[in-house]
Structure formats: C-alpha cells, structure tokens
Structure 1
Amino acid sequence: MIKDNYTVIGVMSGTSLDGIDLALISFKKATNWSFKIEIAQTVVYPKTWLNRLKNLINLGTSELNELDEEYTTFLASVINNFIKTNNISNIDAVCSHGHTALHRPELGYTLQIGNLPQLSNLIKQTVVCDFRIQDVELGGQGAPLVPIGDQFLFPQYHWCLNLGGFANISSQENTNRIAFDICPVNIVLNKYVGVLGFDFDDKGILARQGIFHQKLFNQLNQLAFYYEKAPKSLGLEWVKTNIFPLVDSYNLPINDVLHTYVKHIAFQIAKVINQKQNTLVLATGGGVFNDFLLEEITKLTSNQIIIPSKNIIEFKEALIFGFLGILKLRGENNCLKSVTGALKDHSSGKIFNIKK
C-alpha cells in the first residue's frame, strides 16, 4: 500500500567487518522526503563470525550455501534482539543489505549472504533485501546503491562521500545522479593495523606516526582502476589481487604502510572532489573518525568537508537501505542506470512476507 509515512529497520553489514548496523527510522513523504533515526545500534561480530567472514572469498559453492543459511539465522537473532531490547512494534519492514560474499559484476554475478526467504519467518516481519542481484543481471555494477538516498535525503550537498571499507561518492550532474567507488579505505587500513593487535587505528594516531614512502605512493596511484571512467565499483577480490601484494612487496613497518596509504586515499578523494570548486562535501562512514585521514583530505581541497551528527556518520548506509526498501515497497525506482551502468532504472530487491 502506498502511503506517506513509514517506519522501518535498516540493516547493513559493510566490508570493513566492524559489525552489523541496525537503525529504526521513520520516513515522511511530503514535497520532499524527510527522516528521523529513532534508535541506532552497531552489533560487533563475535570472533568466530569475524574469522568466518574474513575467509568468505576462499569458500566453494556448497560451503557458501551452508554459510548463507547459518548467517541468515545469526542475522535474524541480531535483528530479533534489537526489536525486543528496544520494544519495537508496528514496523512496515526490515530492509537488509546482507553481507557481501562475492562481487564480480564484470563476470555477471554478486552474492550477499543473509538474504534468504526464511529471514522473514525468523523475525516475523516483512523483509526487503537482496538489492544488488537484479542490477547485475541488467548489466550494471550492482553498486553503489546509496546514491539515490543521497539524492532524495541529502540534496543540499554537492558531494556525498562515504569512508567505509571503500570510499564511494555521489553527486548530481544535471538530471543524472553520478556515483562510483573511489578507492579502498578501512578494508586496507584495518588489515594492517590488525598486525599490531588493534581492530582499527583510533583517530589515525598510528598512521600519523609513520614515515611517507614516495615510491609505494606512486605505484598505488598508478593502478589501472583509478583511470577507468564511472560507473565502476570495487570488491575484496580486487584488493587482494592489487593492493595487498603491492604493499607487502615493500616490507615496510606497519606505521609507514598506514601513513602512506592514508595519503593515497586522500590523494584519490581530492582528485575527485576537486572537479568542482567551492562545494559542500558530506562525509560519513567510520573513516570520518580517522583525524589524520580527514586532515590529509582537507589539505588537498578548497571544498568544505561537512561532518554531520554521529548517527548519520555511523548509520547512513543503514538509513539509506531502509529508504531503498521503502521505494521497493512503493514500486518506485531505487537503482539508477546513471550510477551502476545498468540497462535501465529499476526497482531492485526482493520482498519476503511471513509464510502463514
């Protein structure tokens, strides 16, 4: 049923594996869309799940299918606990991204685990999920999907920059929304800081202490992906093939790796946002808490980097996947060909209702 008010739970698990983000959000449709994040929480992965998800890329088909079943059950328990703990009732849907296991759009496939039909019965709610597959089937990248949310929920910004496992960005170009992945961020930084026994580099302190390595910096910037035109997207497979072997070949101290890689991220981001001068850049995602990274980006641009409220920084993707789910329920386009390169704009995702 089409209506003007919706309450949903948005659920997101990113490639940086910092946990499952859950957000209870109310949306209102008037002339424009408005929203309010009512409750938000990140559930950190237990070590057993963290280790299993890190190894996804090495699993065969049957092992992936088995893990998909188990992850769906685990995800359901996380969502049920969020609903019970916060006394949540009368929601329109749970809108879940799942967790990316494989993403090779150039080969015609993508897989997000945790999107099986039984999720709806396990949580006793309507579920909207699996937003990427249809786009890939239509010849698109299946990513990024957040830009339509940027367009409708954050129209006052010239650039919407997300600093998560990967840096991705969107902007309005005349009547089209343009978006693409820029470079890996936390998926690389967290791997190397893990060697030192940390989950992440708090405020970028460890990176700040390192020494810049010009040759590694130059080689990173010469990777072919950075010269491709949008639409384009990145996955863990690309990082394992292109970034890790290159970085490891230098055998540098970890602090020097972090320092040099942060400067690489800043360079690639500035190269994009400097295409427009004197603009507002909304920055969200866990990378925003890396002070050293933000300083390095700011040094390279005259544009104004805007840091929003903590809830939007941390839960913007959960918020927008909630919004994508609403658009799907309304039968409206939630995936843009100008962003993904698909054959057409479309209403992507699957709707699972409770079986009676």
Structure 2
Amino acid sequence: MKPARSELYIGLMSGTSLDGIDGVLMDLGSSPPWRSLAHAHQPFDPALKRTLLALNTAGPNELHEAALAAQDLVASCAQVVKAVCARGGVTPQQVRAIGAHGQTVRHRPELGYTLQLNAPALLAELTGIDVVADFRSRDVAAGGQGAPLVPAFHQALFESPKDTVVVLNVGGMANLSILRSGQAPLGFDCGPGNALMDAWCEQHTGQAYDEDGAWGAQGTADPAALEVALSDPFFALPPPKSTGRDLFNASWLQQWLTTASLTNCPAQDVQATLCELTARSAALATQAFAPMATQLVVCGGGALNGALMQRLQANLPGVAVQPSDARGLPVMQVEAAAFAWLAHRHVRHLAGNVPQVTGAKGPRILGALYPA
C-alpha cells in the first residue's frame, strides 16, 4: 500500500449506459466538497460494447466470453488511469489506490448476487497502483441491494444546511439520493435512465444515443403508453430497491410496445415517451419521498440530454433543476469520483454503504484490495 500521507485516489466507472470508461483523480485529504484534479474518458470499442451488452443475458460460452471481456475492459481502464495521471501531473507512485467498479452484467440481489466484470489483479499489474474492487457484493451478502452506493458521497458534496436536496444520477438506470440536513441520506433506483432511449435511438437512427434529446424532442409522448410503462410493478415497490438491464432491457421494451399498442407508432413518439418515462418516474419518486425538496441536482449522461432536463423541470415545477456542474463537479465525473471515495473508505477501514439505503443489516467495509 502507498504511504499514509498519500490521499490521491483514482475512481473508474463504466455504467449500464455502456458509453465507455470515466476516470477521475481526486485529492481526498481535504474537506468536502472535493473537486476532481483530472478527468479522462475512453469510449468502448464497438466490439467490446456488443460483448458486454450480450453478457447481460444468458448466451453460449458466456464464462469464457466474460473472462476475455474483463481483460479487455481492464486494458482500457489502464489506459484511462495513464491519461488521468498525465493530466493530473502525478506519477502512479503518488496515487494511494484505484477504486475500480467494473462493468455490471447481472444484478440480482433478490437471489443474493450482483456481478461486475473486472480483472482487478490485472489492473494492479498494468498500473502499478493498489486496486480496490468488488464494492457491491459485501452489501448484498449482508442482505442489502448492493446499490445505490453513492448517496453518502452525494451528501458530502451536495448537502444544503437548510434545504432538502435530491441528486438524480441518470446513467443506463436512474437513481435518487435524498439529502436532508443533519440526517442520513436516503436513496434508491427509481427506474430506467438512458438505457431504453439509447436502444431505441440506435435501432432507428444508427446513433448510439439521442444527442441532446433532439431526435426524440421532435416526437410527442403518448400519455396512455406512459401509464402502461409506469404500471410495471417495479415503480410501486418501496425502497430499498435497485434495478438494471435484468429488468429494463430489449425484452421489456418490446413487451411494452406490444402492450401499449405502439408497434405502428412513429419512432420519435416512442422516444419522446421513453424520455417522459425517465423524467416522470424520477419526479414521482421525488414527490413521494422528498416532497420538501427545493433542488434537483442531475448528474450522469442524462444530464446532457436537454429534452430530459426540460421534462424534469416540467414535472417538478417547484424545484430548481440543475446539472452537477453548477455545484462544482461535472456531470460525467460524479460517479467515478464516488468510487474513488469508496476506495478511500476501504483503505481507511470505514463503512461505505448506508444501511437505510441498501437494506443491509448494518454498515460494512466495501470492496477487496489488490496490492500493486
């Protein structure tokens, strides 16, 4: 392990949106709110993205494919680490540890497991830096959902001494952190984020995502179809709860299109309805669990979707909706920064989960250490 004086950590995150890997360099020796010292993003190679997406469902030879994909993923992670160090003007020897989340391919806490593809031993070899990985499984072993793990970090960054603040992270899925001054945070997954919109956009335009929501904004949301989507039992579940591509996937999308009689609907209307689903489900959860909220801080790739941001504001007229950039940390860096913080917690032998959020039996030190 690095000398105790080192408080530099790198966080790596590749989310369910499958857009690529984000890495940030954080100095966690100071008091919050922390700022990133450097950031790097590397898009997924198209072949790796296809493999990772395929591994979300059962397929032939999947153990072998998963092992190879994990090695490819970590090779890209090592490149991101190299870029972050260069941009931050630090050497690997100055970094205490990397917090490497890995790529979630299955998330079934109700069955006692969650699976993130990773090769942390290889990452330690390639970078020469201690690696902390496998953050979710200890919480699941303690009876929790293993997600979301970011509310405590959100609280350190965005809590207001007077107001109730809600942080909405919109990656492939969407999760809320509810920050009430002087109280432990609440948090849970509230529904799909970008995953369904991205899939529909790629199917009909060939583009990986709907830039700024401009394509979907040309359509009109279907109110009846929206109600069909919101009737999915997931939305009525009380927290703690989490979700992923195990539920909101291509099969869910096809079933919804059929049930809502949308198979002959203009593609842009479907996209507009999916955008409204993400906004409305987040807004309904905010109104139900944080009725006094005055601010909604949005991070993740969804914060770059102007149409989605407009729909969030329309659904929450009394709440100030703003991207996390306005609070000091760019939208594409927040989640990676959270895993730097979780690595920092592990090194200090401090709990990283919030039992009220995940449903775990109690606080747990998260992750496993792979020394360089």
DSSP 3-state at the match of 1:33: coil
Aligned counterpart for 1:133 among listed residues 126, 134, 137: 137
1:259 paired with 2:272, answer: yes
Tell me which residue corresponds to 1:330. 348
Match of 2:213 among 190, 204, 207: 204
Q: Distance in 2 between matches of 1:292 and 1:82?
A: 30
TM-score, normalisation: structure 1: 0.92
| Residue pair 2:22, 2:40 contacting (<8 A) in 1 also | yes
2:232 to 190, 205, 223: 223
1:194 paired with 2:194, answer no
Amino acid at match of 2:189: D
* SS of equivalent to 1:312: coil
Q: Give distance in 2, aligned partners of 1:278 and 1:325.
A: 30
Q: Is the 8 A contact 1:277 1:303 kept in 2?
A: no
- Match of 1:300? 315
Structure 2 partner of 1:94: 98
Q: Distance in 2 between matches of 1:235 and 1:111?
A: 11
Q: Which amino acid aligns with 2:218?
A: Q
Instruction: Flag structure 2 segments of 5+ consecutive residues without an equivalent.
Output: none
Contact 1:284 1:314 in 2 (8 A): yes
Q: Of residues 179, 183, 193 in structure 1, which corresponds to 2:191?
A: 183
- Look up the equivalent residue of 1:138 and give its one-letter code: A
Deviates more, 1:91-100 or 1:175-184: 175-184
Q: State the 1:142 CA deviation.
A: 0.7
Letter of the 2:257 partner, please give it. Answer: V
Check the 8 A contact 1:135/1:142 in 2, yes or no. Answer: yes
Deviation at 1:74, TM superposition (A): 2.2
2:76 equivalent among 74, 78, 85: 78
Maintained 8 Å contact 1:76/1:123: no
Seen in structure 2, the aligned counterparts of structure 1 residues 125 and 306 have a Cα distance that, compared at 3 Å, is: same
Moved more, 64-73 or 8-17: 64-73
In structure 2, do the counterparts of structure 1 residues 342 and 201 end up closer, same or farther at CA, with 3 Å as the change threshold? Answer: same
User: 2:255 corresponds to which residue?
Assistant: 245
Give yes or no for the alignment of 1:287 onto 2:302: yes
- Partner of 2:44, secondary structure, is coil
For normalisation by structure 2, the TM-score amounts to 0.88
Deviations 1:59-101 (CA, angstroms, capped at 9, x unpaired): 45x9444334323432332233234444341111111100001
| Alignment length (residue pairs) | 351
Show the 5 A alignment for 1:112-127. 112-127=116-131
Cα deviation 1:166-206 (Å, max 9, x = unaligned)? 11011135633210011102100000000111111111111
CA contact (8 A) 2:74 2:122 kept: no
Q: Summarize the Cα distance change of 1:147–1:115 in structure 2 as closer, same or farther, 3 Å threshold.
A: farther
- For residue 48 of structure 1, report the CA deviation from its aligned partner: 0.8
Residues 215 and 272 of structure 1: CA distance in aligned 2, closer, same or farther (over 3 Å): same
After superposition, residues 25-64 of structure 1 pair within 5 angstroms as 25-29=26-30, 32-59=31-58, 63-64=61-62
- 1:13 — aligned with what? 14
RMSD: 2.1
Q: Aligned pair in 2 of structure 1 residues 38, 243: CA closer, same or farther (>3 Å)?
A: same
Separation in 2, partners of 1:270, 1:4: 43
The 2-side partners of 1:83 and 1:295 are apart by 35
Corresponding residue SS for 1:309: helix
Identity of aligned residues (%): 27
- Secondary structure in 1 matching 2:16: coil
Provide closer, same or farther for how the CA distance between residues 25 and 71 of structure 1 changes in structure 2, counting only shifts above 3 A: farther
1:108-146 alpha-carbon deviations (Å, 9 max, x no partner):
111100144333223221000110111111111111111
Between the aligned partners of 2:17 and 2:200, the Cα distance in structure 1 is 12
Do the aligned partners of 1:68 and 1:114 also contact (CA within 8 Å) in 2?
no
- Structure 1, unpaired ranges of 5+: none
Find 2:64's aligned residue among 44, 55, 66: 66
State how far apart, in whole Å, the 2-side matches of 1:248 and 1:8 are. Answer: 47
Aligned counterpart, 1:271: 284
Partner AA of 2:348 in structure 1: R
Letter in 2 for 1:338: Q
Q: Secondary structure at the match of 1:95?
A: strand
Question: Within 1, Cα distance between the matches of 2:253 and 2:232?
Answer: 9
